[in-house]
Structure 1
Amino acid sequence: MKRTILSLWLLLCMVMLSAYSIRPQQVEQPFDSTKELSKVDFSKPLAANQADWVDRTSVSLLTVGPGDPLYAWFGHSALIVKQPSGTQIMYDWGIFDYEQEHFYLNFARGRMYYYVVASEATWRIQEAIDEERDVRLVELNLTDEAKFALITFLQKHIKTEYSTYLYHFYSDNCATRIRDIIDFATEGAFRAWAENEPGQGSYRQLTARNMIHSPALFWVLDTLQSRIIDTRLDRYEELFLPEKLHQAVVDFTYPDGTRLVDEVQVLQDRRDSGIRFTVSDDLVNYDWAYALFGIASTLLLLLLGSRLPVLRRIVSGLLFLALGVLGSLLLFMMLFSDMDMTYFNENILFLNPLLFASAYALLIQKKQGSRLAAYCSAIMLVLLVLKFLVPAFAQQDNIRTIAVLLPLYLSGSSFQGRRKRKKR
């Protein structure tokens, strides 16, 4: 009876955790770009000397394709100002410093501080070319007044008190900062146009295209994120991706029909070279592949159990140990980090620190199976039924997570049942 009550209590705790995320105190944004942009007059008349200088100056959007490190998988955006002297200054919002105070603690809590840095553009462009990345440059067709105000804003932006900002992968990054600058420079026309254009998908669907080449890492990061990233975006919202920003700038025309970009300058194109992964133009869906992986892995475990039950128990224990670590990370991010994309994650119902108990039973107590696995299996089956029958329960796209874990949990609980029947 006591074990039944304890099991019900654990199940109740798991259900409560799904809707319980302590939102941490709001961390002040050191430099709110849109707030400062709203103070700039992009139509202010220019003096004669200012008009002459800005007429011989250009502002261009630089877009760099994906690179090899994880942080470079999504590409990069920057602005380049070419002055009358020929000097090209690159304004880059994608700089972070491993040596900043409490860097790793801030990283774990989702408090990533990035910088804007101005540097000579030629060597930065050459660096991207040497890395065998796609590099494209487009000159922005702005009014002289808007161009002058934009350059003034950029020069102010790199001063110490304006150089640091709180990074957010989806809503405040190197591409969104430039997106907002272009919007203000076009006096709101860019945003008005993009918000009326349908987006291609959700945050999750768009980022999957850049990550699916690494299926295991994608599955982990996909599992850690909640329904917050599953709402369908308009075109302006999807401009957190450099490639999307580039294409939107190319497609945009002013209300009078004038184009924002006349010509795309391709400095290097390596998309068909086979050097690294390619990003699909269409949304990708590999739910079936993760389902097959989950079923195949479980069948291998069952086959191993029929021949080498001790080895199967150890392997299962190590799997539950790894899942317990992942569940602990998820719980930490939900409760104590500023990563809002992890809040209210229903995966906590079946992926949480309680899985350490299953690992302990398998590895230390040398027992086969897990009652907790049976509970988790039941929760996932209920969720699957609700997702197909009740649209309100389908807000979080976690089919891939369930597809991998459900066969594993089912095999653990059913194996326990067989062992008990044999003992009787």
Structure 2
Amino acid sequence: MRIKIRGTFRQIELVLAILLFQTNAFAQLPALSPQSKASLVTVGPGQELYSGFGHSVLWIYDPVTGIDRAYNYGTFSFGEGNFYIKFLRGTLPYSLSVSPLGLQAEHWKYENRSISEQILNLTLTQKQRLFQFLETNYLPENRQYQYKFFYDNCSTRMSGALKAACGDSLIYNGYTKEKLSFRQWIDKYAYKQKPWADFGMDLAIGNPSDEIATADQATFLPDNMAKAFADAKVKTATGTAPLVATTQVLFTAEPEPGPGSLTPTVVFWTLGILVLAFTYWQIKKEKINFTLDKVLFAVVGLAGWILLLLWFGTNHGVTSWNYDILWAFPFWLPVIFFLSEKKKPAWFQFFLIFYGFLLLCATGNATKHNFVVVPILLMLIVRVYYINNSLSKIPTGEKEYGSGITDTKNN
């Protein structure tokens, strides 16, 4: 406990130091000296979900003038009004913040995140332009922007700043080593390290995430941006030269423990097998009981309403056209509570037929996930079969039932 408290105080001190630095920002933009450098600093993934894909900052450092400014486009404030509503809706404004790299690096080291620096092979004029561009972005009227995870984030803004500084002298093609969809890029980062987060994101994002990311779009991941910088070139008076002059590791993270054995794959396949065995027992013994179905399909319906909210009620840009809503059908909640062992609504079997068709359509979309949806679909198909089979034995109206034998009451 004592270690945690000390760590918290350390973080508070860092935040206060950054705020103090920002209040003493330069009133006028100074000229950089020939000893100055411009660098892309790439930070490895952290344990928190928001930091799980890494981070990028641009760093301007000049030992002669004392300039030490690291430009961070990934800043948001918990003091923002209606913070959680804006965060969930995708309307939370992000902004550019500036502080010495050492202050930010201490925070990343505390979070055990690797840090590497790529010193850029820029002329003094290009470094000055980059400095000017970043400082202009840092003006109060410019520093806020509408964050988009795939299309406009702390990483994608790095290439925009570089292009503004270098103009036609930059030969930059983005990340060209692999062609993957946005969903596949997320899986590549999160499937092994954060399987539950990966599963949740797979469910939340829709059809736009299955588009193949272009070479430029793939740099929404900081590691890809670093590789794109490494492959880029700049035109010089004598020809071309690599954009990155030197790469150095500033900090290497310690290995983190794995996610454990209770991954979504293990949990849902275990549940799938148990539900299959339980359903077989109910059918074999002619037991009619819908308690499991009320729990299962209430959860499915709730998941569907959440997906529907993400589709129509948010501005994330990647949660629309989510075909998981075919199996996570919202109207299961409240329809499932009309199901009863004592009577059956005349319309319920028509609803089951319609949902069965949706499940059939959903199976074609299942392979876009990390196959965790497969046991979920298996459970739903088995229970729909059981409900339909049981309802065929219950006449419309009331019934008495015991160990599988049903009699119609005469009113």
- With the shorter chain as reference, the TM-score category is 0.7 to 0.9
Shift of 1:406: 1.9
Counterpart secondary structure, 1:187: helix
The aligned residue for residue 91 of structure 2 is 111
Q: 1:400 to 1:357 in 2, by over 3 A?
A: farther
Q: 1:401 to 1:223 in 2, by over 3 A?
A: farther
> Quick one: which of 307, 315, 321 aligns to 1:330?
307
> 1:121-270 counterparts in 2 under 5 A?
121-188=101-168, 190=170, 192-194=172-174, 197=176, 199-212=178-191, 213-254=193-234, 256-270=239-253
CA contact (8 A) 1:200 1:233 kept: yes
Q: Which whole-Å deviations, capped at 9, do the CAs of 1:126-148 have from their partners, x for residues lacking one?
A: 22123221110111111222211
Structure 1: unaligned runs, 5 residues or longer: 1-48, 279-288, 388-393
Residue 65 in structure 1 maps to residue 44 in structure 2: yes
Q: 1:141 to 1:337 in 2, by over 3 A?
A: same
CA contact (8 A) 1:93 1:117 kept: yes
Q: 2: distance between equivalents of 1:157 and 1:141?
A: 22
Q: 1: distance between equivalents of 2:152 and 2:342?
A: 48
> 1:229-378 counterparts in 2 under 5 A?
229-254=209-234, 256-270=239-253, 273-276=254-257, 296-305=270-279, 306=281, 313-361=290-338, 371=349, 372=351, 374-378=353-357
Counterpart secondary structure, 1:59: strand
Q: 2: distance between equivalents of 1:117 and 1:396?
A: 41
Identical pairs, percent? 23
Residue 406 in structure 1 maps to residue 406 in structure 2: no
Q: 2: distance between equivalents of 1:127 and 1:182?
A: 26
Counterpart secondary structure, 1:186: helix
CA contact (8 A) 2:109 2:251 kept: yes
CA contact (8 A) 1:304 1:312 kept: no
The aligned residue for residue 21 of structure 1 is none
Q: 1: distance between equivalents of 2:288 and 2:97?
A: 54
Q: 2: distance between equivalents of 1:277 and 1:399?
A: 18
TM-score by length of 1: 0.73
Q: 2: distance between equivalents of 1:109 and 1:365?
A: 43
Q: 2: distance between equivalents of 1:363 and 1:261?
A: 68
Pick the structure with more helix per residue.
1
Q: 2: distance between equivalents of 1:179 and 1:312?
A: 60
The aligned residue for residue 405 of structure 2 is none
Query: Highest relative contact order (Cα 8 Å, sep 6+), 1 or 2?
Result: 1
Counterpart secondary structure, 2:368: coil
- Residue identity matched to 1:301: V
CA contact (8 A) 1:291 1:403 kept: no
Aligned residues, how many? Answer: 352
CA contact (8 A) 1:80 1:88 kept: yes
Residue 415 in structure 1 maps to residue 386 in structure 2: yes
Q: 1:62 to 1:412 in 2, by over 3 A?
A: same
The aligned residue for residue 79 of structure 1 is 58
Structure 2: unaligned runs, 5 residues or longer: 1-29, 396-411
- Residue identity matched to 1:265: Q
TM-score by length of 2: 0.75
- Residue identity matched to 1:249: F
CA contact (8 A) 1:74 1:210 kept: yes
Q: 1:202 to 1:397 in 2, by over 3 A?
A: same
Shift of 1:374: 4.7
Counterpart secondary structure, 1:200: coil
Q: 2: distance between equivalents of 1:317 and 1:301?
A: 13
Q: 1:220 to 1:58 in 2, by over 3 A?
A: same
- Residue identity matched to 1:123: L
The aligned residue for residue 397 of structure 1 is 368
Shift of 1:181: 0.9
Q: 1: distance between equivalents of 2:276 and 2:366?
A: 33
Shift of 1:269: 2.1
- Residue identity matched to 1:193: N
CA contact (8 A) 1:156 1:162 kept: yes
Counterpart secondary structure, 1:194: coil
